[in-house]
Structure 1
Amino acid sequence: MIERFYLKEFLTFKEADLEFHPGLVVFTGPSGSGKSILMRSILASVGLDSVEAQICESSVTWMIDEERYGLQNESLNTFRHVKKEKTRYFINNQSTSKSSMESISSTYLRHLSLKDYSDFDPSAILKIIDERISARSPQYAGILENHRVKFAEFKILSDQLRSIEEKEKHLSELKEFALYEIGKIDAIKPTVGEDEELNLIKKQLSKKEKIETVIAQAQGIFSFESHVSSALGMLEVDSAFFDDAMNELHSIIESSLERMEELEEVSVESVLDRIEQISELKRRYGSVEEALEYRKQKALELESYETMEHSKSDLIKQISAIKAILETSAKELSLKRHAILGETLEKLNGYLGMLYLREATLNLEPCELNASGEDKAVLGLAGTKLDKLSSGEFNRLRLALLALGVESMNGGGGVLMLDEIDANLSGEESMSVAKVLRHLSSRYQIFVISHQPQLTSMGQQHFLIYKDDESRVRELDDAERIDEIARIISGDSVSEEARGFARDLFERARGL
């Protein structure tokens, strides 16, 4: 529920600070006083509308998915939007996006102002039926959950089978392509580090003659080696450093000469060809390592194609076994749904009768196997297509479905916000809406704007919106509520007759 709401600087409102209770919360007031502005501000405080208020803030009991949104729950979570140069959104003083705020709020709050046909969707109607059965037979919920789990498994395996069948259509082409790709790499047979070695050989070949010339010239130093050793001996200087240097020089030159001899047998053209092959491989795959990894993947693909037929056979057997289980559970679910269907329709028509609407039709039609079974729930309203209903009829039908759902609820249903749902209704029709809303208020916190005394009298909390130099709002006590109901009945000049009728309405509502 929403426990507290604060508004600062929005259109005709300078400030409003309200505390809300569970149940049916009614807003009344003269036309143009700011009722719709206040309702929009409450929605905006939780990200479900856009207004230009300086501050909009609501403290709510809703739980936030901390991992999903990166926010931390508090005993009361505070949703706030602040407008300065731009609008910023916060939850518990942590900055967030409007879309995140909207996503969290829409889980708990429904604004019944537009024609939202999702309430009449077959899956939504079927859910109401299932919840009614589960409320009486706890094992039914287990059957339904097991069916859903099995169907999820069935769908995964079926998707895998479709993938195999799709691949089978092009299996020969896929095999041919994999073999072709493997063959291209195998024709070159690259090894890791080979490109660096080839470039070094290319570099050495390009300087071979020069290297041999300078080595021949450098070898002349060895003819003076004995003279240097003798001179160091005469000078009584330890010649070890010179001997070590000359030994290392001998080794370097000998290795270089051996390398030059090896290069004699190397074909420059073959080195350049090999470098070009490796370069082409790198241009295609990025590196020798990536080319070898690609070959490995294609080899695995080729292996999977070879075993595909065996995998397909296993999948078909698994799918067939699971489908048999699902068909059994779907029949069991369907039998229980058909058993309660008549009673559910009778209850729904009871609410529709209260709301002065024609009787509904409710049927279960067979459909393709799915996560809920093999039933499709189809709702109709005698003599009128759902998309041809007036706004008043549409909203009263939604209320009847919500009231039906309340009967099997274990916990709270969240928050409902309604804009003048009793507008243009007769007194009897308005009272019927009020009674259904009072019934719903056992599970929902409901905010409603009303211009009718019947619904106003049913409120468990009543706020008056009025306007002098600015719009203001305050909670009414019992005596003030009777005065306000009388004003709604007779206008600004309240008659004793209106006051008596208002008191009678209020006291009857208190007795419910």
Structure 2
Amino acid sequence: MLTSIVIKNYALIDHLDVSFTDGFTVITGETGAGKSILLGGLSLVLGKRADLSSLRVKEQKCIVESEFEIGKYKLQPFFNENDLDYESSTIIRREILPSGKSRAFVNDSPVTLAVLSQLGDRLIDVHSQHQTLQLADNDFQLKVIDALANNGERLADYNEKLINYRVTSSALEQLLDFQQNATKEHDYNSFLLKELEEASLTLGMQEELEAQYDLLNNSETIMELLSKGHQILNDEQMGALGTLTELKQVVSRLASFGSTYEALHDRVKSVFIEMDDISAELGLLQDKVTINPQLLEEVNTKLQLLYDLQKKHKVQDIGALLSIKEELETTVGKVENIEVDITEKENELAILRQELEAMSNILRSKRKSVIPELKQELEETLATLGMPNASFKIELSPADTFKRNGKDDLSFLFSANKGTAFGELKKVASGGELSRIMLTIKSILAKYEQLPTMMFDEIDTGVSGEISNRMGDIMADMSNSMQIFSITHLPQVASKGDHHFKVYKEDHENITNTKMKPLSQEERVVELAEMLGGKALSDSAIAHAKQLLN
């Protein structure tokens, strides 16, 4: 429910601050007084595009701020989805800067125009003679039928199932695409995987093979060097061990001449022991060295395979080859198991399709059951609105695909006169007829679901007094369950309002301002009388105005 609006520096409005309550509010004023300006300002907080030319004073920013009571609208999920602070009394502010930039805020949180527009659609439904295209939309027509059929929960369950169906269908398409593309490469990927598997790759194997290759490739040189070292130590004439043996004997004799020589003896003895141990080690290593051309060839072959694989896959080490091997195992495994996965998805999709078919059939059955009631109510109400021969032909048939609101094709045809063919609403109904049809449909909807605030903008233009009186009754009746605004030129409609505001112009210092004020009972009598007979108030106009109000 709209509870207030403040407009600053917009078109002919310098500063406007108005509060509203629930029920039926009528807004009147002379042509050109600025009723459309009021709607234009309101449209800014509903997410419509801003126009820099709408600034009253170009050097100052324009501000439009509205407060809404939204406790009944179940908008908490919307606020959560858009990361907005939820307040039952929500304030929306829109600013247009002199630079042309526009800013929007919901409860002081900045929002995009897209979010503001989505929220605005949930708060106010502005309806005029030029905004009746919605009538020709099958989704809207089905919404009316579903409201009568109480299909709300069924549609919610259906939509949840439809989401699962579409997700599963998409997953199946991806599997089929993968199968089609992967099969072409499957043989090559299998060959690459087999190559890597036969290489028996392990971390560190390359380093081990390279070390083994170095030993085998240089075995003769190693053996020669070990032999020469052993010979240096053990040569009978010039061997180091023989020389150390003689030195040990010399210092052994010196050891008896004091501690200094005894320490020297110990050092020589230690060197002799170390050299003797080295000699033994050289002999052992020499015995272990083998010259094995066959083993050298095997190691070289293994290394060359590793180098070739690394070059082929454009990597530098065994770890990278192992990673590629894992990826190939996954890819090859998917292709080999894809038939099983596809069969599972197809079965899952078949079950969901059956469930959706059953849910669609129930929706269709419920819809068909209320179509006669809707047709009768539409035709009876329109008869009271000056369309006694209005007739509808509403038919449902199964569609080929699952849609967002079921699996139905809807034919919603209209004829305004006897003997004329039925046709689509937008093609055979005039603007005035469309307005009355929309008013009738919205009044029916209001009985079955919580609608947002509704603002009717001069939809009664061009209709007679008696018809406008009935239109006023319908709007007044709707206001029992929702907030209704009507911008009108007709006193018959204006008299039905619980609250009456007047939009007027006021000149001050050669500057025109659009203003708006609530009317007292006495002021309403004068306003209605002027709407009936002009500025020159007559006794009959005053009497007629009082009669309308009573």
TM-score by length of 2: 0.70
Give 1:71's aligned amino acid: L
Determine helix, strand or coil for the equivalent of 1:179. helix
* Contact 2:50/2:102 (<8 A) preserved: no
Shift in alpha-carbon separation, 1:90–1:334, aligned structure 2, 3 A: closer
Q: 1:360 is matched with which residue? A: 391
Name the % identity.
Answer: 21
* Alignment partner, residue 61 of structure 1: 69
For residues 29-75 of structure 1, the C-alpha deviation after alignment (integer angstroms, 9 at most, x for no partner) is 12222111111101212323425562100111233523211111123
Which range is displaced more, 428-437 or 363-372? 363-372
Task: Quote how far apart the aligned CAs of 1:82 are.
Answer: 2.0
Q: Distance in 1 between matches of 2:504 and 2:346?
A: 75
- Which of 463, 471, 496 aligns to 1:425? It is 463
Match of 2:190 in 1: 182
Measure how far apart 1:196 and its partner are: 12
Contact 1:282 1:288 in 2 (8 A): no
Farther off after superposition, 301-310 or 437-446: 301-310
Q: Does 1:126 align with 2:142?
A: yes
Aligned equivalent of 2:313, options 281, 289, 298: 281
CA drift of 1:276 comes to 5.8
> Counterpart of 1:386?
425
Q: Which amino acid aligns with 2:2?
A: I
Q: How do 1:204-219 and structure 2 match up within 5 A?
A: none
The structure 2 residue matched to 1:347, chosen from 351, 354, 377, is 377
**Corresponding residue number in structure 2 for 1:40:** 40
Name the CA shift for 1:367/1:265 in 2 (closer, same or farther; >3 Å): same
- 1:463 touches 1:476 (CA, 8 Å); kept in 2? yes
Aligned mate of 2:496, from 449, 453, 458: 458
Query: Following the alignment from structure 1 to structure 2, what is the Cα–Cα distance between the partners of residues 422 and 310?
Result: 61
Kindly indicate whether the alpha-carbon contact (under 8 Å) linking 2:399 and 2:407 is maintained by their aligned counterparts in 1.
yes
- Within the candidate set 76, 90, 94, 2:109 is matched to 94
Which whole-Å CA distance do the structure 2 matches of 1:99 and 1:154 have between them? 29
Distance of 1:310 and 1:101 partners within structure 2: 45
Contact conserved, 2:379 with 2:391, CA < 8 A, in 1?
A: yes
Q: Are 1:439 and 2:465 counterparts? A: no
One-letter amino acid matched to 1:278 = Q
Q: 1:7 to 1:201 in 2, by over 3 A?
A: farther
Report if aligned partners of 1:175, 1:305 keep a CA contact under 8 Å in 2: no
Out of 52, 66, 79, the residue aligned to residue 92 of structure 2 is: 79
3-state DSSP class of the match of 1:451? coil
Instruction: Give the distance between the partners of 2:21 and 2:201, measured in 1 at CA.
Output: 74
Q: Please state how far the C-alpha of 1:461 moved relative to its aligned partner.
A: 1.8
Supply the distance in 2 between the matched residues of 1:78 and 1:196 (Cα, whole angstroms). 71
1:31 maps to 31
Q: Secondary structure at the match of 2:483?
A: strand
Q: Following TM superposition, by how much is the alpha carbon of 1:78 offset from its aligned partner in structure 2, in angstroms?
A: 0.7
Q: Secondary structure at the match of 2:8?
A: strand
CA distance in 1, matches of 2:470, 2:79: 41
- The one-letter code of the counterpart of 2:67 is S
Secondary structure of 1:183's aligned partner: helix
1:76-475 to structure 2, matched below 5 A, reads: 76-84=89-97, 85=99, 86-113=101-128, 114-134=130-150, 166=176, 174-188=182-196, 274-275=306-307, 277-282=309-314, 288=321, 291-308=324-341, 310-311=343-344, 314-315=347-348, 318=351, 322=355, 326-327=357-358, 330-357=360-387, 358-368=389-399, 370=402, 375-382=408-415, 383=420, 385-388=424-427, 389-409=429-449, 412-467=450-505, 468=507, 469=511, 470-475=513-518
Distance between the aligned counterparts of 1:480 and 1:429, measured in 2? 25
In 1, Cα distance between the equivalents of 2:184 and 2:410? 50
- Indicate the SS of the match to 1:494: coil
Q: Tell me the CA shift for residue 5 of structure 1.
A: 0.7
Aligned residues: 473
Please give the alpha-carbon distance, in whole angstroms, between the structure 2 residues aligned to 1:123 and 1:453: 35
Alpha-carbon distance change, 17 to 316 in structure 1, aligned in 2, over 3 angstroms:
closer
Cα pair distance change 1:109/1:196, threshold 3 Å: farther
Deviation, 1:15, is 0.2
Give the drift of 1:17. Answer: 0.6
> What letter is aligned with 1:402?
K
Pairwise CA distance, 1:179: 3.1
Answer yes or no: is the 8 Å Cα contact 2:136–2:424 preserved in 1: no
Gap runs ≥5 in structure 2? 53-60, 234-239, 245-250, 252-260
Other structure's SS at 2:185 match? helix
- The 8 Å contact of residues 396 and 408 in structure 2, kept in 1 or not, is answered as yes
2: CA distance, partners of 1:316 / 1:116: 39
CA distance in 1, matches of 2:200, 2:65: 67
1:6 aligns with 2:13: no
Q: Does 180-189 or 482-491 show the bigger shift?
A: 180-189
Two-structure CA RMSD over aligned residues (Å): 4.7
SS in 2 for 1:444: coil
The CA deviation string for residues 385-414 of structure 1, in whole angstroms up to 9 with x for no partner, is 4123332222221111111212223xx311
Residue of structure 1 in register with 2:55 after alignment: none
User: 2: CA distance between counterparts of 1:101 and 1:192?
Assistant: 60
Task: Read off the aligned partner of 1:413 and give its amino acid letter.
Answer: L
Cα distance in 2 between the residues matched to 1:51 and 1:339: 48
1:484: Cα distance to partner?
1.1
C-alpha distance after superposition, 1:425-460 (max 9, x if no partner): 222332232222222222332333211212211222
- The SS at the match of 1:463 is strand
Give per-residue Cα distances to partners, 1:295-343, cap 9 Å, x unaligned: 13312312323425753774486368647xx44x555554444443322
Per the TM alignment, residue 417 of structure 1 is displaced from its structure 2 partner at its CA by 2.5
Quick one: distance in 1 between partners of 2:205 and 2:534?
96
Q: Give how far 1:161 is off.
A: 6.0
CA distance in 2, matches of 1:385, 1:141: 26
Q: 1:380 to 1:279 in 2, by over 3 A?
A: same
The equivalent of 2:535 in structure 1 is 492
Q: TM-score, normalised by structure 1?
A: 0.75
Assess, with a 3 A threshold, how the Cα gap between structure 1 residues 3 and 374 changes in structure 2: closer, same or farther: same
Matching residue's letter, 2:336: E
Deviations 1:178-198 (A, max 9, x none): 232232244245898979968
